[in-house]
């Protein structure tokens, strides 16, 4: 957001704080992200989340969502508190018990913010697009491949589309899809809903069936450290020299540049831009979700780029725009306009009323997938 707006928005946030206003709507329902059989956390029609944690001897209980209510202890020894209205979609959080930050034992566990921990799913108007529906399903396969450059056996998740096993003579294009910083190779198939989104698009005839491959986007196995001195070469080596040959030999792929795409969110978007620009003979479709954009100045040989790259997709959540998220590669809308001006097939997508979160990236995938491998 623009600096000048911050004080105003901060003021609005304070004024809309529930603590001083009416009681939240009393239509709480268990969150779909809960562990089996757990009543709490609950979500209401205002998109607030209410928590319950049994901690009879605690002095203070809270949650990492800003502007949440104070937690109060009930007669049952359980503490209750709730959030401000949240955006639609998926949000990581942790509980705080006397200074300890711990996962909510009632939530399913997701890897984000560099830990397996809790998160909550807020119902969304477009949730049917990422729901598990009664349509033919693809498979998500956990596979391991030998990586010489790192001396490890590395995990990949491979989504094979519906019909893959039933059509042993058919070959498929491949999308390599990366998570963000602090996340890992589980992100896209768990909170990202890759299977559901693509199964649904294929069932609706809106996307071609293709394979998706997801690996961990760093090579430091401890997942620590910052991005300032990030050297992408070790990851690029794993992806381009080791993973792609493994996938092309073990799966029925269309193993050529026109049928290979790369996309990623946030850090994975930065990785996508760097890796694809350096490997234009390997990838033909490029998707960058909340991870900067591609400026004309980034492209060394525009004629070669125009000839080789079939489509560029840049996506953002509306709440991210105007800030510094788009700075790499310049303002993303303007950058896409400039690409188009130069005759490159580029698309800009803005996810309404979402921030730097999974709801933005689910929608980016849903919008990107129908544009893949169409020409």
Of 7, 222, 226, 229, the one binding a second copy by CB under 8 A: 222
Nearest to a second copy of 83, 189 (CB atom): 189
Of 250, 322, 343, 370, the one binding a second copy by CB under 8 A: 250
Query: Is the separation of the CB atoms in 375 and 105 below 8 Å?
Result: no
Query: Is the separation of the CB atoms in 309 and 286 below 8 Å?
Result: yes
CA distance 77 to 61: 12
Q: Are strands 285-289 and 260-265 parallel, antiparallel or unpaired?
A: parallel
> CA nearest 138: which of 167, 116, 179, 114?
167
Of 31, 53, 197, 364, the one binding a second copy by CB under 8 A: 53
Of 13, 114, 227, 297, the one binding a second copy by CB under 8 A: 114
Map residue 11 onto helix, strand or coil.
helix
* Closest distance of CB 77 from a second copy, Å: 7
Q: Are strands 211-215 and 72-73 parallel, antiparallel or unpaired?
A: unpaired
Of 100, 228, 324, 375, the one binding a second copy by CB under 8 A: 100
Residues 150-189 that bind a second copy (CB under 8 A): 153, 165-166, 168, 184, 189
Q: Is 35 in the site for a second copy (CB under 8 A)?
A: yes
> CA nearest 210: which of 177, 245, 244, 174?
174
Query: Is the separation of the CB atoms in 178 and 107 below 8 Å?
Result: no
- Return the range that interacts with a second copy (CB under 8 A); candidates 101-109, 262-270, 290-298, 348-356: 101-109
> Cα 38–40–42 angle (5° rounding)?
130
- Return the range that interacts with a second copy (CB under 8 A); candidates 100-108, 202-210, 299-307, 338-346: 100-108
Determine the length of the chain.
375
Q: Is 59 in the site for a second copy (CB under 8 A)?
A: yes
Of 31, 63, 108, 122, the one binding a second copy by CB under 8 A: 108
Nearest to a second copy of 115, 308 (CB atom): 115
Q: Are strands 311-317 and 346-351 parallel, antiparallel or unpaired?
A: parallel
Query: Is the separation of the CB atoms in 10 and 82 below 8 Å?
Result: no
Of 141, 208, 306, 340, the one binding a second copy by CB under 8 A: 141
> Cα 86–92–98 angle (5° rounding)?
100
Nearest to a second copy of 162, 326 (CB atom): 162
Nearest to a second copy of 57, 229 (CB atom): 57
**Residues of this chain that bind a second copy (CB under 8 A):** 35-37, 53-60, 77, 94-95, 97-103, 105, 108-109, 114-117, 132, 134, 137, 139-144, 146, 153, 165-166, 168, 184, 189, 195, 221-224, 250-251
């Amino acid at each position: 957001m623009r600096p000048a707006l911050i004080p105003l928005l901060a003021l609005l946030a304070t004024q809309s704080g529930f603590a001083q206003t009416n009681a939240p709507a009393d239509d709480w329902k268990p969150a779909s992200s809960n562990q089996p059989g757990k009543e709490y956390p609950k979500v209401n029609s205002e998109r607030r989340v209410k928590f319950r944690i049994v901690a009879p001897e605690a002095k203070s209980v809270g949650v990492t969502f800003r502007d949440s209510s104070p937690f109060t202890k009930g007669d049952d020894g359980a503490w209750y508190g709730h959030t401000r209205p949240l955006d639609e979609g998926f949000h990581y959080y942790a509980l705080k018990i006397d200074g300890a930050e711990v996962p909510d034992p009632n939530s399913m566990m997701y890897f984000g913010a560099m830990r397996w921990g809790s998160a909550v799913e807020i119902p969304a108007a477009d949730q049917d697009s990422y729901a598990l529906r009664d349509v033919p399903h693809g498979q998500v396969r956990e596979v391991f491949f030998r990586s010489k450059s790192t001396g490890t056996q590395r995990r990949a998740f491979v989504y094979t589309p519906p019909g893959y096993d039933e059509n042993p003579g058919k070959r498929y294009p491949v999308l390599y899809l990366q998570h963000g910083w602090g996340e890992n190779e589980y992100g896209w198939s768990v909170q990202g809903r890759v299977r559901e989104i693509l199964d649904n698009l294929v069932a609706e005839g809106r996307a071609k069936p293709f394979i998706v491959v997801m690996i961990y986007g760093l090579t430091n196995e401890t997942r620590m450290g910052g991005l300032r001195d990030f050297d992408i070469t070790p990851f690029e080596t794993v992806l381009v020299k080791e993973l792609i040959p493994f996938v092309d030999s073990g799966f029925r792929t269309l193993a050529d540049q026109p049928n290979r795409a790369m996309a990623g969110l946030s850090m994975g978007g930065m990785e996508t831009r760097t890796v694809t620009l350096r490997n234009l003979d390997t990838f033909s479709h490029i998707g960058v979700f909340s991870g900067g954009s591609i400026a004309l100045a980034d492209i060394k040989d525009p004629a070669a780029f125009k000839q080789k790259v079939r489509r560029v997709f840049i996506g953002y959540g509306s709440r991210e725009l105007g800030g510094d998220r788009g700075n790499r590669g310049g303002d993303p809308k303007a950058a896409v306009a400039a690409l188009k001006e130069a005759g490159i097939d580029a698309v800009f997508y803005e996810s309404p009323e979402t921030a730097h979160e999974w709801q933005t990236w689910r929608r980016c995938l849903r919008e990107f997938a129908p544009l893949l491998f169409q020409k």
